[in-house]
């Protein structure tokens, strides 16, 4: 199945206007479009011309893996990794990590999120039965807390709806509290858990 991003909305991403972006995210999450000001609406329209989603081709897999590894390693207290990776160990870990990542994402479609042609986020998804599996989702360290995670989840929901799928599913480490807060606030609920991780799902609105 082909995943589509035709006319994907581009919004919420003026990194130099953090306070305005925070307000925009709040308005969107509350679902109170009528409470937004004319200034906020203008900021959305301006930012929409700056954000792009790019499909990652095979020859850019290494770039994707590098950005993913760096984003996860520099997550809050390293909580995106099951075990901390000291800086001195990075050269010895990165090659086997990339090999494992290629296996995990073998069937997934990978995407970059670009702001003014700079990579600010990335995600990978895989349709499986009635689910759209989110295999990977990360925001680069310097672009965090600006609504990019919410933006990526919006686009993933759009993909799932276009494919006629019922739900989104992902796994998140129990110790990765910032990611858990994002997913729960977005509407994901816990379906099961293992020793180290939680399985979360969100039902799509078209079902």
The pLDDT of residue 75 is: 77
Evaluated on CA atoms 21, 23, 28, 33, the torsion sign reads negative
Superfamily of domain 52-203: Gcn5-related N-acetyltransferase (GNAT) (3.40.630.30)
Domain ranges of the chain: 52-203
The pLDDT of residue 40 is: 38
For residue 91, what are its two tokens?
């050269």
The pTM score is 0.75
Q: Which stretches of the chain drop beneath a pLDDT of 70?
A: 1-49, 77-86, 206-207
């Amino acid at each position: 199945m082909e995943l589509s991003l035709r006319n994907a909305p581009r919004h919420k991403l003026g990194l130099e206007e953090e306070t305005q972006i925070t307000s925009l995210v709040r308005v969107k999450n509350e679902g109170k479009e009528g409470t937004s000001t004319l200034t906020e609406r203008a900021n959305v329209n301006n930012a929409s011309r700056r954000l792009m989603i790019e499909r990652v081709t095979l020859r850019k897999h290494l770039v994707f893996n590098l950005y993913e590894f760096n984003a996860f390693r520099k997550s809050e207290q390293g909580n995106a990794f099951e075990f901390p990776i000291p800086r001195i160990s990075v050269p010895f870990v990165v090659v086997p990590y990339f090999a494992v990542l290629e296996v995990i994402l073998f069937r997934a479609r990978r995407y970059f999120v670009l702001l003014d042609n700079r990579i600010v986020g990335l995600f990978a998804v895989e349709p499986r039965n009635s689910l759209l599996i989110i295999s990977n989702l990360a925001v680069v360290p310097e672009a965090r807390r600006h609504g990019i995670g919410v933006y990526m989840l919006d686009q993933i929901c759009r993909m799932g709806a276009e494919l006629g799928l019922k739900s989104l599913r992902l796994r998140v480490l129990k110790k990765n509290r910032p990611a858990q807060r994002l997913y729960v606030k977005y509407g994901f609920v816990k379906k099961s858990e293992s020793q180290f991780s939680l399985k979360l799902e969100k039902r799509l609105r078209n079902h």
